[in-house]
């Protein structure tokens, strides 16, 4: 009596979308907008309003991402040159 093991619940992938971001970003996941093969698009709530965040999940097997990193760097350079309050440059690690 009372010797039951509690069932564990699996957390959804949505809970891990913002897992690696610093807490100083103050982002709260609102909804998943797109589930592309390469990047996931999530809508987040920030202190200053809504933000669309693109997330890449690392897979277990090795994938050469240099080509994609180069493409994202080009896009970042374009975003950096824009003078618009709703476009933030992003970081490529």
Give residue 89's pLDDT: 58
Band of residue 26 on the pLDDT scale cut at 50, 70, 90: confident
The answer on 50 and 77 residing in a single domain is no
User: Whole domain around residue 72: which residue ranges?
Assistant: 63-93
pLDDT at 14 over 60: no
Q: Which residues contact 55 (CB under 8 A, 6 or more apart)?
A: 17, 18, 39, 40, 41, 42
Q: How many folded domains does the chain comprise? A: 2
Give residue 90's pLDDT: 60
Q: How many CB atoms lie within 10 A of CB 37?
A: 5
Domain membership flag for residue 4: no
Give residue 25's pLDDT: 80
The answer on 50 and 68 residing in a single domain is no
Q: What is the pTM of this model?
A: 0.52
Among 37-41, 44-48, 75-79, 81-85, the range scoring the smallest mean pLDDT is 81-85
């Amino acid at each position: 009596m009372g010797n039951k093991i509690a069932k564990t619940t699996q957390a959804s992938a949505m809970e891990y979308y913002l897992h690696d971001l610093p807490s100083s970003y103050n982002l709260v996941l609102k909804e998943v907008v797109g589930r592309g093969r390469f990047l996931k698009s999530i809508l987040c709530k920030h202190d200053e309003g809504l933000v669309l965040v693109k997330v890449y999940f690392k897979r277990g097997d090795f994938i050469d991402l240099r080509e994609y990193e180069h493409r994202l760097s080009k896009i970042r350079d374009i975003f950096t040159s824009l003078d618009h309050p709703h476009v933030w440059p992003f970081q490529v690690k």
